Amino acid sequence: MIEMLARRTAALLLVLLAAVVPVVAAARLSAWENELAGRKSVEPLGIADVAVIGTLLWGIILVGLWWHWRRTTMWPVWSRWASATGLFAAFFECVQLAGDRGRPVALAVWLGLAVLCWALGEAVRLVLTRPVTPRLIASKLEIPFPLRGLKARLCVRADRLVLDSLASRRKRSRDVAAVPWTTLRSIELVEVDQEMTCSVFVFSATKVGNVRRFDVPPGPALHVIGTARELLVPVTEQLGRVVVEAVRQRSAGVELDESPLTEEDWCRQSGVPRYDTTIYSEQLRRNEKVANYATDKRPYVLGVIGTFLLMPLVMLCGTALSVITGSAYLQKQFKVFDGVIDPIWVATLGVGSIVFLYLLNGFVIQGFVSSMKFQDYIEAFPEAPAPPPKTGTVPGSGKKRKKR
């Protein structure tokens, strides 16, 4: 308990540092640019001014950290987003210093700042997940493990074993395949004698699943058998033993779900319509583009809509902060004249914030929650179409062992 609290506290401090350092740097760069320009009547960009710019973003980051409280692989991502506000402001100041004031060293300063923020994100990951101690294994925190020769990671979560993106390191936050403890039949460390290919079938709402393939080089590998899923993932021998121990401890005592899962069940429970197989076959025959469901899609449009719907609330917060901080720059931006707020302006923003928050809940928040619940379900239980005969892609294929 104390170890987990210490890990999370250290990680939160690093995220805070990643947010604060570029903001302070942007304010100092603005003061330097103002000094070189010799402007005595213009107030340089201050720390409070930059902080107001990131009000919306930091609010989203706090919600994201709360949402991914146990998803340690997402903490570095949120850490880097926390740096975005300060890096954005610092970039424009550095461009002005390099272009208008003849100080190209400012660009090197910005690059160093970006590298520092990236390194802080890596430090967040290391603090949360390394070293892998018995207390960490006994906790519910996600533990990521690198795979031998693959870009993907194998993540041991509180309730499942997850294989993330196989194609790109940038998409690691999206799962490719998962085996929940309720469907896990066995996991063991085996030795692969010759190179082979492992195929992962992902749900597509059609009779033909989306296929992800990856090569398994000779050497140690984890052989995972689930209800409708079989994986062979290359690892080092040391990491393989740690993963097996973590899975056995976290899956101990979980009741196995023996009921068969059909494609119709998945479509009905997830809410995704099942495409007509006749139309699907006809589209394939005519070499037309087939519309199917991609489990790794990202609802970016919700972010755009959410940003628009939060603008009245951001303006209201900016108006309040401009009065509290006394910043002349902020008061000019948010229509506060001589420290006096226009009541009609505040009332308009207040009503707009309430209405837009109602729309935000209906069109964005509920849609995002439904999308995440569906994603969690569909990645855990994808139906694997029957492989071609004698493929030999996975050793021991078809053997079902109920004991772990």
Please give the full DSSP string across 338-404, using - where no structure is assigned: TTEE-HHHHHHHHHHHHHHHHHHIIIIIHHHHHHHHHHHHHHHS---PPPPTT---STTTT---S--
Look at residue 132 and give its three-state secondary structure: coil
Cα separation, 263 vs 352, whole angstroms: 44
Length of the chain: 404
Sheet of strand 143-146: strand arrangement = 143-146, 153-156, 160-164, 175-180
Look at residue 149 and give its three-state secondary structure: coil
**Contact status, residue 188 vs residue 244, Cβ threshold 8 Å:** yes
Total-model pTM: 0.77
**What was the pLDDT predicted at 378?**
67
- C-alpha closest to that of 146 among 123, 167, 163, 170: 163
**Contact status, residue 96 vs residue 33, Cβ threshold 8 Å:** yes
Paired tokens of 166? 């196989």
For the CA atoms of 61, 67, 73, 78, what is the dihedral angle to 10 degrees? Answer: 0
> Who contacts 122 (Cβ-Cβ below 8 Å, separation ≥6)?
76
Q: Is the peptide bond before 312 cis (omega within 30 degrees of 0)?
A: no
DSSP-assigned beta bridge partners for residue 175: 164
Place of tokens 């706090």: 62
DSSP state of 275: P
Cα separation, 159 vs 180, whole angstroms: 6
- C-alpha closest to that of 22 among 114, 106, 86: 86
**Contact status, residue 187 vs residue 161, Cβ threshold 8 Å:** yes
Q: Is the peptide bond before 134 cis (omega within 30 degrees of 0)?
A: no
- C-alpha closest to that of 54 among 29, 90, 28: 90
Residues of the chain with pLDDT under 50: 384-388, 390-404
Paired tokens of 25? 């740097």
**What was the pLDDT predicted at 126?**
94
Look at residue 114 and give its three-state secondary structure: helix
